[in-house]
């Protein structure tokens, strides 16, 4: 992981003697820990990674996950694993930090409990925020990360192709969500990257709707938004369907969202300010009868997290770079009626983008 440690250090605004990433307990894990320490299994609650400017990484872990940690370290001569009981963690940190005076922390994820522990263990240290450097390093993916994201997207696409065959009258949103999650695991996922969204009819007007007991009835629109985890890296995909008889309005809505997505795709290349991707999709929707019904940013970075640090919004000035991986997910939301969102995952290439998700996204009316 020397390259990743160095990548973070190169992006610091001001030098630090060492950088410390401390995991708390679920759900307060700091995914930057797993960026620096590429270990395929385990939660590593309470574990700490200490990164040094020369690229070396010390990992202080509990006996609980020592086996996975040592196995991962075998593949990387720059990673050094130290096993310590919880009450010996501070002493182990002190050893790894040696004489370091200025220490970088991920203020964006560090819990207050950890900040207090560190401050009382090392009153002589100066703690500075390095969350921006971590975010920037994580935002352009290396080849190993892209490979995992590609596989996570493939799992999502495989399930997307199966969803139409799962639609039947009377199935509930929760049952359909369970099928989607089961199938992701059958296709090789380690889990879901967020709580699966299945929204029937008017529920689809809310982008982050949580599925419930609503039953599928002819005439409903359907939004399914889900994602797989593969070796800690995620996908995020949405497909929208129509169940039962033709509905010209929902067809027009779907076609508008498709055009918005194509307009967004057309902007993606290195150097483009992220906001232009959003604005291109919004312009298509705002020129339609559904003006103003795109109610969120048109995409976000994905990686170890499903919302991996930043995204396209109307004010996102940062430029796209090769190796960034994003969703592109325009939607139209019609309160009381339903919604359509189409979401795909892309990687920015040297001259454009490559789609990672491949499930058909055209309008599909499934016979009831």
The CA-based dihedral angle spanning residues 195, 197, 198, 199, taken in that order and rounded to the nearest 10 degrees: 140
Q: Are 313 and 278 in contact (CB under 8 A)?
A: yes
Which positions lie near Mn ion, rule CB under 5 A? 225, 236, 327, 343
Cβ neighbours, 10 Å, residue 128? 16
* Residue number, 109 or 343, with CB nearest to Mn ion: 343
User: By rule CB under 6 A, what string of x and - marks binding of each residue 12-51 to ligand GLY?
Assistant: ----------------------------------------
The closest of 254, 239, 257, 256 to 345, measured between CA atoms, is 239
Nearest approach, Cβ of residue 143 and Mn ion (Å)? 23
CA distance 32 to 46: 14
Contact flag: residue 194 with ligand GLY (CB under 6 A): yes
Contact flag: residue 181 with ligand GLY (CB under 6 A): no
The closest of 242, 255, 249, 223 to 339, measured between CA atoms, is 223
CA distance 35 to 118: 22
Q: Which residue is nearest to ligand GLY (CB)?
A: 225
* Residue number, 33 or 312, with CB nearest to ligand GLY: 312
Instruction: Report what 179 binds from ligand GLY, Mn ion, none; CB cut-off 5-8 Å by kind.
Output: none
* Residue number, 145 or 329, with CB nearest to ligand GLY: 329
Number of residues counted as binding ligand GLY (CB under 6 A) = 5
Task: Please provide the DSSP assignment of 165-233 as one string.
Answer: HH--TT-BHHHHHHHHHHHHHHTT-SEESSPPEEEEGGGGGSTTPPP-SPBP-TT-EEEEEE-EEETTE
Q: Are 323 and 146 in contact (CB under 8 A)?
A: yes
Cβ neighbours, 10 Å, residue 336? 7
What SS3 class is residue 276?
helix
Instruction: Report what 194 binds from Mn ion, ligand GLY, none; CB cut-off 5-8 Å by kind.
Output: ligand GLY
CA distance 365 to 13: 52
Instruction: Report what 107 binds from ligand GLY, Mn ion, none; CB cut-off 5-8 Å by kind.
Output: none
Contact flag: residue 225 with ligand GLY (CB under 6 A): yes
Contact flag: residue 329 with ligand GLY (CB under 6 A): yes
Nearest approach, Cβ of residue 195 and ligand GLY (Å)? 9
Nearest approach, Cβ of residue 58 and Mn ion (Å)? 35
Backbone angles phi, psi at 63, to 5 degrees: -60, -25
* Residue number, 137 or 305, with CB nearest to ligand GLY: 305
* Residue number, 5 or 163, with CB nearest to ligand GLY: 163
* Residue number, 89 or 193, with CB nearest to Mn ion: 193
From candidates 145, 173, 236, 247, binder to ligand GLY by CB under 6 A: 236
**Residue ranges in contact with ligand GLY by CB under 6 A:** 194, 225, 236, 329, 343
């Amino acid at each position: 992981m020397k390259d990743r440690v160095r990548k973070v250090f190169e992006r610091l605004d001001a030098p630090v003697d060492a950088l410390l990433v401390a995991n708390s307990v679920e759900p307060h894990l700091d995914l930057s820990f797993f960026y620096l320490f590429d270990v395929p299994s385990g939660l590593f609650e309470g574990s700490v990674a200490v990164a040094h400017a020369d690229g070396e990484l010390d990992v202080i872990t509990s006996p609980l996950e020592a086996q996975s940690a040592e196995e991962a370290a075998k593949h990387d001569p720059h990673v050094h694993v130290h096993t310590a009981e919880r009450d010996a963690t501070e002493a182990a940190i002190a050893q790894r930090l040696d004489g370091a005076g200025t220490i970088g922390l991920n203020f964006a994820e560090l819990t207050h409990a950890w900040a207090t522990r560190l401050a009382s263990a090392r009153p002589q240290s100066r703690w500075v925020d390095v969350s921006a450097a971590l975010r920037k390093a994580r935002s352009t993916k290396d080849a190993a990360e892209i490979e995992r994201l590609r596989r996570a997207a493939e799992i999502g696409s495989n399930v997307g192709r199966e969803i139409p065959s799962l639609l039947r009258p009377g199935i509930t949103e929760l049952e359909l969500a369970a099928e989607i999650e089961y199938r992701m695991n059958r296709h090789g996922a380690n889990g879901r990257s967020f709580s699966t969204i299945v929204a029937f009819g008017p529920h689809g007007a809310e982008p982050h709707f949580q599925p419930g007991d609503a039953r599928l009835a002819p005439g409903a629109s359907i939004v399914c938004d889900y994602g797989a985890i593969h070796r800690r890296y995620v996908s995020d995909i949405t497909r929208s369907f129509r169940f039962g008889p033709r509905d010209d309005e929902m067809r027009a809505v779907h076609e508008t969202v498709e055009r918005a997505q194509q307009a967004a795709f057309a902007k993606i290349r290195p150097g483009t300010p992220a906001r232009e991707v959003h604005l291109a999709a919004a312009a298509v929707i705002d020129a339609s009868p559904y003006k103003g019904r795109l109610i969120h940013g048109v995409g976000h970075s994905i990686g170890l997290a499903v919302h991996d640090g930043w995204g396209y919004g109307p004010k996102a000035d940062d430029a796209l770079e090769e190796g960034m991986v994003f969703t592109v997910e325009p939607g139209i939301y019609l309160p009381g009626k339903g919604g359509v969102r189409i979401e795909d995952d892309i990687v920015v290439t040297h001259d454009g983008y490559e789609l990672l998700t491949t499930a058909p996204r055209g309008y599909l009316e499934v016979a009831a």
